Amino acid sequence: MATIYLETLIKADIHQVFDLARDIDLHQKSTRKTNEKAIAGRISGLIEEGETVTWKAKHLGVNQTLTTKIISMEKPFQFTDIMLKGAFKTMKHQHIFKKKNDSTLMIDIFEFESPLGMIGRFFNHIFLKDYMKNFLLERNELIKKTAETVN
């Protein structure tokens, strides 16, 4: 299993950052390169615990769909989503938020496993882990920019 760990320090209130991180509309803005669209489940606004969203996007030249579900949420400190259906063998994304003086530390722990056994692990190592890290960094940069612009 591959794991990506990211920390993003954002000069904004924890409640604001938490809400931006679960905002479907902002997520779609951050994924313009892959034309990611919410097509089923929660398709707009703030996703809540127990809700699902199905995304349609073009990754690596292939049209794909991914359905995720928010399996836990403790506002404004954490939420976790898992893949129900999609290209990964497994996927879990923990979003953690901590107050740091006048800022919020946003932590992503993104764990995934590709299908196809040894070939999938090789693909993760040589390409997919960096691809997913950059995908998350772009998303986090928009959350940071949006939160810090409002303040």
CA distance 111 to 108: 10
Residue 117 structure tokens: 């056994």
DSSP 16: H
**Which residues make Cβ contacts (< 8 Å) with residue 10, sequence separation at least 6?**
17, 103, 104, 105, 106, 143, 144, 147, 148
Work out the angle between the directed axes of helices 14-21 and 129-150 (0-180°, nearest 10): 130
Number of residues that make up the chain: 151
The reported pLDDT for the residue numbered 122 is: 74
pLDDT tens, residue order, the chain (151 aa) = 889 999 999 999 999 999 999 999 999 999 888 889 999 999 999 999 999 999 998 877 788 999 999 999 999 999 999 999 998 899 999 999 999 999 999 999 999 988 877 776 777 777 889 999 999 999 999 999 999 997 5
Choose among 26, 24, 48, 50: nearest CA to 38: 24
Domain ranges of the chain: 2-150
Fold of 2-150: Alpha-D-Glucose-1,6-Bisphosphate; Chain A, domain 4 (3.30.530)
